[in-house]
Amino acid sequence: MKALRFAAAALAACALGAAAQTPAGEAARGKPLYMKNMCYTCHGTGGQGTRYGGRLAPSPLPWEAFAQQTRHPRAAMPRYPVEFVSDADLADIVAYLASIKPGPKASEISLLKE
Ligand code: HEC
Q: Is the CB of 80 under 6 A from ligand 1?
A: yes
CA distances from 33 to 3, 4, 111 (A): 45, 43, 35
Q: Is the CB of 112 under 6 A from ligand 1?
A: no
Q: Is the CB of 57 under 6 A from ligand 1?
A: no
Look at residue 2 in the predicted model and tell me its pLDDT.
58
Q: What is the CATH number of the domain that holds 93?
A: 1.10.760.10
Look at residue 103 in the predicted model and tell me its pLDDT.
87
Look at residue 88 in the predicted model and tell me its pLDDT.
97
Look at residue 20 in the predicted model and tell me its pLDDT.
55
Residue 80 half-sphere exposure, CB side, CA atoms within 13 Å? 19
Count of structural domains within the chain: 1
- Give distance in angstroms: CA of 77 to centre of ligand 1: 5
Q: Is residue 12 part of a domain?
A: no
Residue nearest to atom 29 of ligand 1 (CA): 66
Look at residue 10 in the predicted model and tell me its pLDDT.
52
Please identify every stretch of the chain with a pLDDT value under 50, giving residue numbers as ranges.
13-18
Range of the domain at 59: 21-101
Look at residue 14 in the predicted model and tell me its pLDDT.
45
Dump the DSSP string for 40-106: HHHH-TTS---SSS----SSPPPHHHHHHHHHS-SSSSPP--TTTS-HHHHHHHHHHHHHSPPPPPG
Look at residue 18 in the predicted model and tell me its pLDDT.
47
Look at residue 22 in the predicted model and tell me its pLDDT.
75
**Nearest-CA neighbor of 84 among 20, 37, 22, 27?**
37
pTM for the model: 0.84
